[in-house]
Chain A
Amino acid sequence: DARVTQTPRDKVTEMGQEVTMRCQPILGHNTVFWYRQTMMQGLELLAYFRNRAPLDDSGMPKDRFSAEMPDATLATLKIQPSEPRDSAVYFCASGSIGPGSSNTEAFFGQGTRLTVV
């Protein structure tokens, strides 16, 4: 049963602390997305990787957020320093998407609920 796995599921941290969220995409998927969801803004795209290369991170505050894919089985989203306004659910999604691919669906992980106090 292939699925996207995110850790941790819940994280409470104090303002100013570093937060690292991890995502294991489905094996064989070439595309990874990071989304942030809040009640006010809905799902916002933060970063997009294809074949581990970042294609778009324009949705991410560059001064405090960073996204990487050290290898094909791990994507990370880091916030340093964290602020209360970063409180949200962070979703990772993966898919086999792109030129030459007929697939269209992105599969979402269960999300990391981040609370910064």
Chain B
Amino acid sequence: GQNIDQPTEMTATEGAIVQINCTYQTSGFNGLFWYQQHAGEAPTFLSYNVLDGLEEKGRFSSFLSRSKGYSYLLLKELQMKDSASYLCAVRDRQGGGYQKVTFGTGTKLQVIP
């Protein structure tokens, strides 16, 4: 199975940069996702990493180190609307071609003026 850890809460200032870390332990790693979830809404997909390195997508970037079991989500030029929970999820190979995705408990980011 997986053990996924991320900070419970973070606060950052509008216009700044924030890095949300995620560490995981898994036996059959096959990809890591970041999702954004605003209060009362469904999670929405932000990024996917399966190889080591940085994936950049506009103001959001995601980094993965498979050897360290570590990922981070980097948010630049923070806006008030970025206040949300950010969920790290790990995909893990099971038997028979089945791949299970397990979510961390999420990091609640508050952006302040």
List A residues at the B interface (Cβ < 8 Å): 33, 35, 41-45, 48, 50, 55-56, 91, 97-99, 104-111
A42 and B106 contact, Cβ closer than 8 Å, known pairs A91-B43, A106-B45, A110-B41: yes
Set B31, B42, B104, B106: member contacting A91, Cβ < 8 A: B42
Q: In the assembled complex, which residues on chain B have CB atoms less than 8 Å from the CB atom of A108?
A: 42-44
What are the 6 A-B residue pairs with the smallest beta carbon separation, nearest first?
A42-B105, A108-B42, A43-B103, A105-B45, A55-B98, A104-B48
Interface size class of B (residues with CB under 8 A): 20 to 34
- Minimal beta-carbon separation of A7 from chain B (angstroms): 14
- Are A45 and B101 in contact, CB atoms less than 8 angstroms apart? yes
Q: In the assembled complex, which residues on chain A have CB atoms less than 8 Å from the CB atom of B45?
A: 105-107
A56 and B48 contact, Cβ closer than 8 Å, known pairs A41-B105, A43-B103, A110-B42: no
Would you call the interface of chain A mostly helix, strand, loop, or mixed? strand
Q: In the assembled complex, which residues on chain A have CB atoms less than 8 Å from the CB atom of B91?
A: 104
**Complex: A104 Cα to B89 Cα, angstroms:** 12
Over the window 17-35 of chain B, the binary record of Cβ atoms lying under 8 Å from chain A Cβ atoms (1 yes, 0 no) is: 0000000000000010100
Q: In the assembled complex, which residues on chain B have CB atoms less than 8 Å from the CB atom of A110?
A: 41-42
- Identity of the chain B residue whose Cβ is nearest the Cβ of A6 in the assembled complex: B42
Over the window 91-105 of chain B, the binary record of Cβ atoms lying under 8 Å from chain A Cβ atoms (1 yes, 0 no) is: 100101111111111
B87 within 8 A of A: yes
- Minimal beta-carbon separation of A43 from chain B (angstroms): 4
